[in-house]
Structures are given as C-alpha cells and as structure tokens.
Amino acid sequence: MKKIIDKIFITTFFLILTACAVIVPPSGGDRDVEPPSFIKSTPPNYSKNFNESKVRIYFNEYINLNDVNGQVVISPPIENIPEFKLRGKSLVFSIDEQLKDNMTYTIYFGNAIEDFTENNTMLNFQYVLSTGAYIDSLSISGNVSNAFTLEKEKNILVMLYNEKYDSVPYKEKPYYVSKTDENGKFHLDNLAQGNYKIFALEDANNNYIYDLPNERIAFIDSLLPAEIIHKTVVDTNVTDSLISDSTIIKNINYEMFLFEEADTIQRILKSKAVEIGRLKFIFKESVKNLKIKPLNHKFENEWKLDEFNLTKDTLNCWLTNVEVDSLILEISDDGEILDTVELALKTKGNMKKKDLKLLPTSLTLSPNVRNNRSFDFYKSLQITFSEPIASFDFLKIVLAEKVDTIYDTLKPVMFFKDSVIKRNLEIDYDFEMDRKYSLFIPPSAFKGISELENDTLKLSFSTTELENYGIILLKMQLPETPDSNYIVQLLDSKENVLKEKFIKSNGLIKFEFLNPGKYKLKAFSDVNNNLKWDTGDYMKGIRAEKVFYFPKDITIRANWDLELDWDLLKKEIK
C-alpha cells in the first residue's frame, strides 16, 4: 500500500513541475501591426563608388523573405542573381559579378520582406548603389490596367530600354525595370538622363524578354515633346514613345493598358460527334469560307445542314443523308486546309442500352415564355426546336387572347428566322399590355429531320405593362476621331452584355424596357469598324481599342426615365 501511495505522490509531483514549466505568453497588449524598419546597411544604402561584393542590411526585428523570385527586381538587370540569406535581424547577399562603371543599381524588394511573428509586410523597400561618383535621381511612375476591363494589373514588369529599335523587347533585356504593386502602380527610380522606350510585360517565364505568345503587354509609342515637362502623359493615339530629356522624365505619370496580342492563325479547337445526327466543330477564329469535304464516302445528295453561331466560330453539322459509322473529313477555311479529322458517328447500333433509353422520343420545343408567367409585351414569341425542321404546318398553331371569359383567335406573322436550318420559329404579334394570351401547338405540327414529331404544347401567359420598366436616356459626347465608330454597351452587375448601340457621332442613346435593378455602361472605340472590340499588335504599332466605363453604377426604377450625360473626352477610369 505504501508503494502505491509513493507512486501517486511522485506522479503528482512531476505533473505539477511540468505544469509550472509550461511557458505561457503574457496576456494583454496590442497586436504587432508594424512592419519591419530599416536600421542600417553595410555598405550604406545609396552608396557611391561602390566596389564591394557583400551587402548586409539590418532591421529592427527578425524578418522572413517571401517569394523572392517573384518580388525582388534588380534594375538594371544583372546576370547572376544574388542568393539572399537571413542572419539574425539582418539580410545578407553577395554580388558575384563585375558591375558596369558609372551605373546606379536599384534592388527593389517589393513585398518580399515581412516580420517573423505577424507577417507584417515592409512595402517597396529598395537598396540603391552607384558604381560612379553620383546617384542617378530621376524617376517616372504610372499605372498598368487591363485594356478591356480597366482593372488594375499587379506584378507586371515595366521596363525601359536605351536601345530604341522596334523589336528590342523581343531581343534584349531592359536597361531599367520595376514591377506594379497591388493597385497597378509602378515607379522607376534612380534613372540616368537619356532616351528610353517604355514597355510593360506579364513575364510568364521570368526572362525579361517578350518571347511567349500568351504574355500580355502594354506600350506607349509617342515621342514626348519638350513642352510636356511636369504634365501627366496618358497612353493616347500618338507615335513612337521615347523619353528624351532628364527634366521630362521627372514627375511624368504613365497610364498603360495591358493586352494579349491576337493569334490570328485559324485552328480547329474541337471536333466531336455530340449526338446522333449532329457533329460539332469549334474554331479559334470566325470562319471566312469554310469547306468540309468527306474523304471516305461520296454522297449523292447534300449530306449536312450547317448551323453557325453569331460569331461564326462554332458550327453544328446536322447530318441528313449519312448511313456510315465514321467519317474522315478534310476541313479548310479560306482556301487553307486546317486539318483532317476522323469522327466515329453516334448511331443506335453502337450505343449502350442505358444510353438508348435516354434518346428522345419526340421533337422538343423550347419557347421563350413559361406557362402561367408574365411575358414582355414588346417581344415576339420564339420557339427553338431540338433539331432542324423537315416539314411543318403553321395553320395548326393557335395564338389567342382572352377577352372576358372567351379566347379570341389571333393572326400572328410566323416565320423561321433561319430559313435553311429552320430551328428558330418567330411568332410575331403586337401584344397589348396587361392582357392574357394562350398558345396552342397540337401534336405533329412539326417534324424534324430525324422523323421525330412534336408533342402537344399549351401555354397561358399574361403580358407586362409599360410602367414595369425604366428607361436610360444617355447623351453621348464622343472624341473627334475621324471614321471611327463607338460601341456603347449596357451591362448587368456581372458585366454581361444586355444591349448595345453603334454610334458615330454625338447624340442621344435610348435604352428602354429595362427591369428595375443595377446596371453599368461601357463603351469602346471601334477603330476598324468591325462591330467588336479588338486587341493590339505591337510590331504594327496598334494598341487595343480604347475602353471607357461610365464612372458609377446605375440604378433603374420602374416607370422612371433616367437622363445621363457621358463625355468620353473626359478621362474616366473604373
């Protein structure tokens, strides 16, 4: 018994000792929110006549280095990137190459330095040295934005070249380099007097060279005249951008717009037999003169119906006279063969039993109105069919209006919007506001190319009233750009395009029948008049077409006309 008591006493004693030995941080006090501070360095920061090989930078607390490869930039670039090491509260690195004479070097740390305990970031610290008798002190700054969305772009290299031939970004590393911060801002400091070409690059392979097709770029191609000293310079439509004088470099702010050059080589991105009787082809660009030639079978009659989307980069081929298991197709566009593809066709014979059960037994009709729901009075009824129509009888379709308790039959205009494919039917009628209507389509009114027929479709709906909607009356003031259209778009809160107008001169634009809610307005210059936004081409000196956003979101109320003035001559940035 005594041994058991002794064991309990010893165990309890050690537990108490262990509890006493646990180190508990003191409670209370404010959390550390301050980033590290620079104390000193050897050699000192901004040293002249620098000829050392080792640098040590001291801070007021222990630090971490975060994403050195992505954050640290040395300008002008050197061949051998230093290895950065932590020693206590200091940072040590060696320079293992002969630096150029009479040159100011800047080691820009971006967001790499943070404190050890709370990860508070020391923003944009830089170590500067000169191999000559003075420190170059000129600087420029600016912003880099997405050319299409105007969102600010972070971690984009902004580079200066003292060689000014057009292809220099493809062949040489820059003379000076910096990187944009979280807000798209950049600073190029400690610059020498000289002439420089400016270029921004999303450097995908970290080699300071524009050598990948998916790397986004921005450039300014204007020669800065001497009279713009101390003024803001914006990326406008001018020619070859060089900074030509030290006094001009100082206090100039650049606005640059980042874009990816278009790859105009046509390609087939996807080719597939998606269902029985339908092939689908997706192309990289809009097709110009597409030809699809069967190589393993000769058809006596037309073997397909072609259905393109609006942008002509997607094609549905509806097969009409094909009884083979596979097709080898030669596909060409505008006289150039793109590819030869072999497609195994889907047939009932090669489908699994579970898939056969899922095959449709009737022609599907998809109207743009739902049963017992409201319908916009100003629209036409539209019906999309699951496949092209081979035969039809419009006389079987009954559109009626309810008057008191009786439905009166109406006489709408009916036609296929796509007269060859016959997959989109429009039932056009001037509906009255706040009325009740019905649509009846009996069985077998339509037969598809696969012999499927429709089932009964019966819908009841009521039309809306004018008071349900709001209107935007937009007075536009355009820049005086000869022979250039502008496209003005109405967007929803997620920037989906709802409506757009094409204009060429100042005037009033009307967006009507708008449901209450939040909207945005966007415009862009259609320089080549092709009715769409286009990106740029560096070697041709073409920048992305200029984009504008209305400076604030728009709230639409029911039964309300909103009058707005929008002057694109004024700089509007999202």
Write down the pLDDT at residue 558.
97
Write down the pLDDT at residue 16.
44
Write down the pLDDT at residue 252.
62
Determine the residue type at 344. A
Q: 468-567 architecture in CATH?
A: Sandwich (2.60)
107 class by beta-carbon count within 10 Å (0-12 exposed, 13-18 middle, 19+ buried): buried
Write down the pLDDT at residue 362.
96
For the chain, what is the radius of gyration of the CA atoms? 34
Q: How confident is the model at residue 277 (pLDDT cuts 50, 70, 90)?
A: very high
SS3 of residue 275 by DSSP = strand
User: Each residue of 187-225: pLDDT tens digit?
Assistant: 888 888 777 899 999 999 888 899 998 999 999 876 332
Mean pLDDT for all residues in the chain: 87
Q: How confident is the model at residue 247 (pLDDT cuts 50, 70, 90)?
A: very low
CB 111 within 8 A of CB 92: no
Phi, psi of 20 (to 5 degrees): -65, -30
SS3 of residue 89 by DSSP = coil
Separation of alpha carbons 327 and 299, rounded Å: 12
Phi, psi of 497 (to 5 degrees): -75, 120
Write down the pLDDT at residue 266.
94
Separation of alpha carbons 529 and 522, rounded Å: 17
Separation of alpha carbons 59 and 89, rounded Å: 6
Sequence-ordered alpha helix ranges (H) in 438-560: none
What number is the average pLDDT over the span 513-542? 93
Write down the pLDDT at residue 270.
96
Write down the pLDDT at residue 416.
97
Separation of alpha carbons 542 and 285, rounded Å: 20
Residue ranges of E strands in 378-537 = 381-385, 389-392, 398-403, 406-409, 413-416, 424-428, 436-441, 446-448, 457-463, 470-477, 485-491, 497-503, 507-514, 517-526
Separation of alpha carbons 469 and 512, rounded Å: 8
- Three-class SS of 310-328: CCCCEEEEEECCCCCCEEE
Q: How confident is the model at residue 6 (pLDDT cuts 50, 70, 90)?
A: low
Going from N- to C-terminal start, the domains of the chain cover 38-130, 138-258, 268-356, 365-464, 468-567
Task: Look at residues 467, 503, 476, 485 and name the one whose alpha carbon lies nearest to residue 565.
Answer: 476
Write down the pLDDT at residue 79.
85
User: Each residue of 112-138: pLDDT tens digit?
Assistant: 899 988 889 998 899 999 999 999 888
What number is the average pLDDT over the span 514-540? 93
CB 127 within 8 A of CB 41: yes
Task: Look at residues 280, 333, 334 and name the one whose alpha carbon lies nearest to residue 307.
Answer: 280
Six-digit token pair at 83? 């290895």
Write down the pLDDT at residue 207.
85
pLDDT at 181 over 80: yes
Task: Look at residues 409, 414, 420, 410 and name the one whose alpha carbon lies nearest to residue 393.
Answer: 414
Separation of alpha carbons 331 and 247, rounded Å: 59
Write down the pLDDT at residue 75.
86
Residue ranges of E strands in 220-263 = 233-234, 242-243, 253-258
Residue of higher predicted confidence among 296 and 10? 296
Give percent above pLDDT 70 in the chain: 88
Separation of alpha carbons 208 and 226, rounded Å: 30
Separation of alpha carbons 573 and 232, rounded Å: 15
Q: For domain 365-464, give the CATH number.
A: 2.60.40.1220
- The domain made up of 138-258 has a fold known as Immunoglobulin-like (2.60.40)
pLDDT at 236 over 90: no
Confidence (pTM): 0.78
Which residues, 6+ apart, have CB-to-CB distance to 202 below 8 Å?
153, 155, 156, 157, 215, 216, 217, 258
CB 500 within 8 A of CB 526: no
Q: Please, what is the end-to-end C-alpha distance for the chain in angstroms?
A: 83
User: Each residue of 154-166: pLDDT tens digit?
Assistant: 999 999 988 888 9
Write down the pLDDT at residue 350.
79
Determine the residue type at 202. E
User: Each residue of 27-66: pLDDT tens digit?
Assistant: 555 677 899 999 999 999 999 999 999 999 999 999 999 8
SS3 of residue 116 by DSSP = coil
Q: Considering Cα of 201, then 207, then 211, then 215, what sign does the dihedral take?
A: negative
CB 257 within 8 A of CB 236: no
- 567, β-bridge pairs: 477
Q: How confident is the model at residue 241 (pLDDT cuts 50, 70, 90)?
A: very low
Count of CB atoms within 10 A of residue 201's CB?
24
Write down the pLDDT at residue 72.
87
Which residues, 6+ apart, have CB-to-CB distance to 348 below 8 Å?
276, 356, 359
User: Each residue of 398-423: pLDDT tens digit?
Assistant: 999 999 889 999 999 999 999 899 99
CATH 1.10.3470 corresponds to the domain 268-356: no
What number is the average pLDDT over the span 219-248? 44
Domains 268-356 and 468-567 share a fold: yes
Write down the pLDDT at residue 19.
44
Which residues, 6+ apart, have CB-to-CB distance to 107 below 8 Å?
72, 73, 74, 126, 127, 128
The arrangement of strands across the sheet holding 253-258 comes to 185-191, 138-146, 253-258, 233-234
Q: 38-130 architecture in CATH?
A: Sandwich (2.60)
Separation of alpha carbons 212 and 374, rounded Å: 52
SS3 of residue 248 by DSSP = helix
pLDDT at 229 over 80: no
Kind of pairing between the strands at 457-463 and 373-375: parallel
Write down the pLDDT at residue 225.
28
Write down the pLDDT at residue 173.
85
Residue of higher predicted confidence among 73 and 375? 375
Task: Look at residues 192, 194, 256 and name the one whose alpha carbon lies nearest to residue 222.
Answer: 256
pLDDT at 234 over 60: no
pLDDT at 70 over 50: yes
Six-digit token pair at 423? 């997959």
